[in-house]
């Protein structure tokens, strides 16, 4: 009786390896975009939540000031997390004026997603952390038409919490960006937003062309509305002046522009 000795296989054949590699590549092609999409969705949800928190602080400020809303850009008392009084121009911007209303927990309101890491990196390099927070928060404030901006004091603006005709449509805060050294020097944050000059959003152009707004979530920005809720808005909504100005909303004019009174 004979015996046949079977040799054990020590390795995959070239064809089998190619098949395995192809399967892995296919799985990666399916999984990586899904993971990236999930991360983008998580970032968007986190920013929407921060916008709601910021609006809650904004409303609490008005409640503490007999219904008067936070001035958009104007000198006023402000202190940092250590209780130090802040001077010009830091005390003109909103971040450190609202910070006490969320116990200086900046990550949940002012600095969202990568913005906190960016600010911390600046601090590690010896940059002025207090100044950086004041000028480059994740959200910009509609300073010209909500609260008022001392540089544009003639513009009609909301002064009290009960003034707007359509508070659920009035843009108060939104995702912002700046280009401090011109196009190509983008920073994912700014303290102010304005009605866009351009009708179309172009991230390669200087940030002021689209009102410092940052459509960083699939061509949308996270927006905090005057009534306290937050939602995502795209290009067409952000160029509508009825969303920016109570005067435009009352007139029903999406293209409204302020004109000086004639004598």
At residue 115 the predicted structure's pLDDT band, cuts being 50, 70 and 90, is confident
Q: Is the pLDDT of residue 35 over 90?
A: no
* Per-residue model confidence as pLDDT tens digits over 59-82: 999 999 999 999 999 999 999 989
Task: Give bridge partners of residue 142 from the DSSP assignment.
Answer: 193
C-alpha triplet 146, 148, 150: angle, nearest 5°: 160
**pLDDT of 18:** 77
Q: Is the pLDDT of residue 42 over 70?
A: yes
Residue with tokens 């009352």: 250
Q: Is the pLDDT of residue 125 over 80?
A: no
| 3: three-class secondary structure by DSSP | coil
* Per-residue model confidence as pLDDT tens digits over 147-190: 999 998 889 999 999 999 999 999 999 999 998 777 777 888 99
At residue 117 the predicted structure's pLDDT band, cuts being 50, 70 and 90, is confident
At residue 92 the predicted structure's pLDDT band, cuts being 50, 70 and 90, is very high
Q: Is the pLDDT of residue 5 over 60?
A: no
Enumerate the domain spans of the chain: 20-251
pTM for this predicted structure: 0.83
**pLDDT of 87:** 94
User: Which residues, other chains included, contact 47 with Cβ-Cβ below 8 Å and sequence gap of 6+?
Assistant: 112, 113, 138, 175, 217, 222
The region, left, alpha or beta by phi > 0 then psi within -120 to 50, assigned to residue 75 is: beta
- Peptide bond before 89: cis, by omega within 30 degrees of 0? yes
Measured CA to CA, the distance from residue 263 to residue 252 in angstroms comes to: 25
Kindly report the average pLDDT of the chain as a whole number: 88
């Amino acid at each position: 009786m004979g015996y046949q000795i079977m040799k054990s296989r020590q390795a995959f054949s070239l064809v089998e390896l190619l098949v395995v590699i192809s399967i892995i590549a296919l799985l990666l092609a399916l999984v990586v975009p899904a993971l990236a999409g999930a991360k983008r969705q998580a970032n968007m949800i986190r920013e929407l939540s921060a916008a709601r928190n910021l609006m809650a602080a904004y409303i609490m400020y008005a409640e503490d000031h007999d219904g008067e809303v936070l001035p958009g850009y104007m000198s006023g008392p402000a202190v940092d997390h250590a209780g130090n009084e802040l001077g010009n121009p830091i005390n003109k911007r909103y971040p450190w004026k609202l910070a006490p209303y969320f116990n200086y927990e900046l990550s949940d309101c002012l600095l969202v997603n990568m913005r906190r890491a960016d600010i911390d990196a600046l601090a590690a390099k010896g940059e002025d952390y207090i100044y950086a927070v004041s000028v480059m928060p994740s959200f910009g404030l509609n300073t010209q038409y909500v609260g008022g901006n001392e540089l544009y004091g003639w513009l009609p603006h909301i002064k009290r919490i009960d003034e707007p005709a359509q508070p659920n449509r009035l843009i108060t805060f939104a995702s912002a960006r700046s280009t401090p050294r011109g196009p190509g020097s983008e920073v994912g944050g700014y303290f102010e937003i304005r009605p866009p000059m351009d009708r179309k959003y172009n991230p390669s152009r200087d940030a002021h062309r689209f009102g410092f707004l940052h459509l960083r979530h699939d061509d949308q920005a996270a927006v905090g509305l005057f009534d306290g809720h937050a939602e995502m808005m795209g290009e067409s909504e952000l160029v509508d002046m009825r969303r920016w100005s109570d005067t435009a909303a009352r007139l029903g004019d999406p293209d409204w522009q302020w004109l000086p009174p004639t004598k």
